[in-house]
Structure 1
Amino acid sequence: MKTLTKTLVNTTGLNEDQQMIRSAVLEILEATLPKEEIRRIDETKEFPHAAYQALAESGFLGIFFEEQYGGAGGSAKDITNLMETLGYHYAGIGQAVMITSIYAGAHVAKFGSEEMKQRIIPGIIDGSIKMSLAMSEPGTGSDVAGLQTKAVRQDGGYVLNGTKVWISGAHVADYIVVIAKTDMNAERHQGLTTFLVDVKSPGVTINPLAMLGRRTTHANEVILENVFVPEGNRIGEEGRSWKNLMKCLATERLGLAAISAGNCYRITEDAVAYAQEREQFGQPISKFQVIQHKLVDMWIMAEQARQATYRVAELLDAGESAIEETSVAKIIATENNFKVSDIGLQVYGGSGYAMEYDMQMYFRDSRVGPIGGGTNEIQRNVLAKRMGL
């Protein structure tokens, strides 16, 4: 496995700081989130608090935010490098960081008032504030424009009523970024407004949901019953959230692709190591060409995911919108992640289907990729539209 491992940690194209980030992050995670702990929290459905806080205390959550708020002002390539590294160690810690810093935190960073930024962003960076993003509803998953959660103006703020579902990380969040309708008669894509909801507010109920994978950052139902949100917790202009949501998509899809790319390599490494140890017919199964080809295919798909993802980072850093490229990268990386885990499970054979091995977790965790963050069918719709179809 030495040659493949050497390829994985290849730092070609990364500057010295990015190389140091990769090494330091892996060192922190190996100390705070070893394999045994990953397996334990997956079974108990616990959030990876220790690893998350260790990353925060080392300053890595600041990569996503501007220096004036205590951040490091990282580039898209910096973010990709971090998220790929997290995904390589364990997809769940990558998801944990992404939910707060990208999904929800980006709305505050891009569209929040100056007062809100000063109040919230330093807490995200030091790990004292965790957040979640609530868009999907029981009747509107991919159809965000059709959501029905209402926000009615009241003296000094708004009153929110509605139900959100599949809200990852809400069970550990201090604040939830909620998308609601302030004008129920507005045309599609109009009348949507974003709010920062304190989970301790009266009327907020969070119900954990039992999920197939990504158990440590699992989904939740969020019920809002006459929840008052002060005016100062509105994010951006009233009725203008659709355009703001679209502006956050590039980084969201980049993060998802990077986590999946890194995870492809982890799965491939584990499968290679198992194949070299597992003996059948008097020799390691890695000596059989049929197994070798499966492992090579896994490696190829990991490389495809990585190359598509870093291409997006380069374009974003160059000031391009990269609309097509972000959808392509999200599709390639998340679908390859699942394919790699599926092949890996086949390499493991009966052991892959056993809960004692990690391959079944990789398989379960990877399946959400083509569904979450905008389904891959929606990504294909975006591409079809860009093609003029």
Structure 2
Amino acid sequence: MSQSLINTAGLTEDQRMMREGVLDLLSRHLPWEKVRKMDEAREFPHEAYNALAEAGYLGLFYPEELGGMGGTYKDIAVFLETLGYYYTGIAQAVTTSAIYAGMHVAKFGSPELKQEIIPKIISGQAKLALGMSEPGTGSDVAGIKTSAVRDGDDYVINGSKVWITCAHVADYIVAIVKTDTQARHNGISTILVPTKTPGVTIRPLSMLGRRTTHANEVFFDNVRVPAGNLFGGEGQAWKNIMKALGLERLGLAAISSGHCFKITEYARDYARDRIQFGKPISQFQVIQHKLADMMIMSETARQMTYRVADLLDSGFPVVQEASIAKIVATENNFKCADIGMQIMGGAGYSNEYDMQMFFRDSRVGPIGGGTSEIQRNIIAKQMDL
């Protein structure tokens, strides 16, 4: 691919070096022709994931006392934007383990649990998945039905989860469960479940996009885990989930921001090569304006993402800003893919080209990690509406 459209002005020297290092590593361990094959085979990118872990990048998310590098939120944003730019599947693989599931352990786990689990995540020895959504409760987290009942020194878990990303490769599931079935928000707790525990069944789901890191159904049938695996306080999961959302939404926005640039570059390069009426279609103003709109959307997504990172690094709460960034970045991501497909015409709609994969992979953004509608509800509440 020709010259990148991402401007690295404003990044520190370390951040620029990290970006170059990550792209170099991925080009070696996840070459692009392999991505297409893995997408079709629905194969998890183990080699690239392990290479990122071995190079120490998964330590970026965690403090030094847990064996991490203690990266800033801006560092994390740059890292995830780079992964999203290269391939959203590897970005989703990393964030599922390191942020969506692993960060619950890092923030709210007992000292023993942290010391046991976090170094394993950093080294790539353990992958985690977050088990939250259920067949009857997607956005309504407080309405979950999966129960964890105390029995002596154990909890016994029964119920099911759905849309659980990367559960098929996870060693542990951070499961959101009901410890008080009569309560809503105050009845939910967080418990760590090793996936090899008897009674845990994981069934892959066939998804439209992000096929290498697809979703799964998870079933718990009298699953018995030690009481010490419940962490963050019984009935405290809702409050803890709320505390973790800023970083989660930053991650989702960063991945989508990077993907916007990738799509824009791909469409630009195609337009330069595609000859119609005796000249490249990139010389027609109608195509130039479409590409300019894609560039505007890419840069806007990026600026929203970095704004959230800057606020988090300064210690400010980011409820409204994180929701805005998540909406803008994920919706712009899909719009870029849609316009890119239109620029490419029949080629964009063909499986011979990558645009159809970008289109499929981008569509989950406004759905996963809190839908755009839920984000707008949050913004409305912040506006006192």
| TMscore range, shorter length | over 0.9
CA distance in 2, matches of 1:260, 1:274: 21
3-state DSSP class of the match of 1:179? strand
Kindly provide the CA deviation profile for residues 324-372 of structure 1, in whole angstroms up to 9, marking residues without a partner as x: 1000000000000000000000111000111010000000000000000
Q: Give the 5 Å matches for 1:188-207.
A: 188-207=184-203
Return the letter of the residue paired with 1:126: S
CA distance in 1, matches of 2:73, 2:365: 20
CA distance in 2, matches of 1:235, 1:60: 26
3-state DSSP class of the match of 2:177? strand
The two structures, once aligned, show a CA RMSD in angstroms of: 0.9
Return the letter of the residue paired with 2:82: T
Q: Does 1:116 align with 2:117?
A: no
| 1:34 Cα deviation after fit | 1.4
Q: Does 1:265 align with 2:261?
A: yes
Return the letter of the residue paired with 2:85: Y
Q: Does 1:220 align with 2:216?
A: yes
Tell me the number of residue pairs that the alignment of Structure 1 and Structure 2 aligns: 385
Q: Does 1:139 align with 2:106?
A: no
Is the Cα–Cα contact under 8 Å of residues 150 and 227 in structure 2 kept in the other structure? no
3-state DSSP class of the match of 1:265? helix
Match of 1:86 in 2: 83
Q: Does 1:362 align with 2:358?
A: yes
Match of 1:43 in 2: 40
Return the letter of the residue paired with 1:222: V
CA distance in 1, matches of 2:338, 2:214: 22
Q: Give the 5 Å matches for 1:327-338.
A: 327-338=323-334
| 1:66 Cα deviation after fit | 1.0
Match of 1:246 in 2: 242
| Sequence identity percentage | 65
Kindly provide the CA deviation profile for residues 238-282 of structure 1, in whole angstroms up to 9, marking residues without a partner as x: 111100000010000000000000000000000000000011111
Return the letter of the residue paired with 1:221: E
Q: What TM-score comes out, normalization by structure 2 length?
A: 0.99
CA distance in 2, matches of 1:11, 1:283: 32
Of the three residues 203, 207, 213, the one matched with 1:211 is: 207
3-state DSSP class of the match of 1:311? helix
| 1:21 Cα deviation after fit | 0.7
| 1:11 Cα deviation after fit | 2.2
CA distance in 2, matches of 1:261, 1:34: 21
3-state DSSP class of the match of 1:141? coil
| 1:19 Cα deviation after fit | 1.2
Is the Cα–Cα contact under 8 Å of residues 202 and 218 in structure 2 kept in the other structure? yes
Return the letter of the residue paired with 2:173: I
Of the three residues 150, 154, 158, the one matched with 2:155 is: 158
Is the Cα–Cα contact under 8 Å of residues 281 and 287 in structure 2 kept in the other structure? yes
Kindly provide the CA deviation profile for residues 299-333 of structure 1, in whole angstroms up to 9, marking residues without a partner as x: 00000000000000000000001111000000000
Of the three residues 168, 172, 186, the one matched with 1:171 is: 168
Kindly provide the CA deviation profile for residues 56-78 of structure 1, in whole angstroms up to 9, marking residues without a partner as x: 00000000011112100111101
Of the three residues 123, 146, 170, the one matched with 1:126 is: 123
Return the letter of the residue paired with 2:201: T
Is the Cα–Cα contact under 8 Å of residues 165 and 216 in structure 2 kept in the other structure? yes
Match of 1:281 in 2: 277
3-state DSSP class of the match of 1:158? strand
| 1:234 Cα deviation after fit | 1.0
Kindly provide the CA deviation profile for residues 168-190 of structure 1, in whole angstroms up to 9, marking residues without a partner as x: 0000000000000001112x211
Kindly provide the CA deviation profile for residues 37-88 of structure 1, in whole angstroms up to 9, marking residues without a partner as x: 1101000000010110000000000000111121001111010000000000
Return the letter of the residue paired with 1:329: A
3-state DSSP class of the match of 1:373? coil
Kindly provide the CA deviation profile for residues 126-145 of structure 1, in whole angstroms up to 9, marking residues without a partner as x: 10100000000000000001
Q: Does 1:73 align with 2:63?
A: no
Q: What TM-score comes out, normalization by structure 1 length?
A: 0.98
Kindly provide the CA deviation profile for residues 88-108 of structure 1, in whole angstroms up to 9, marking residues without a partner as x: 000111100000000000000
| 1:221 Cα deviation after fit | 0.2
Q: Does 1:373 align with 2:369?
A: yes
CA distance in 1, matches of 2:231, 2:94: 21
Match of 1:25 in 2: 22
Return the letter of the residue paired with 1:339: K
3-state DSSP class of the match of 1:353? coil
CA distance in 2, matches of 1:134, 1:185: 21
Kindly provide the CA deviation profile for residues 139-160 of structure 1, in whole angstroms up to 9, marking residues without a partner as x: 0000001000001001112000
Match of 1:344 in 2: 340
Q: Does 1:100 align with 2:101?
A: no
CA distance in 2, matches of 1:131, 1:85: 22
Match of 1:318 in 2: 314
CA distance in 1, matches of 2:296, 2:12: 24
Match of 1:183 in 2: 180
Match of 1:290 in 2: 286
3-state DSSP class of the match of 2:287? helix
| 1:197 Cα deviation after fit | 0.2
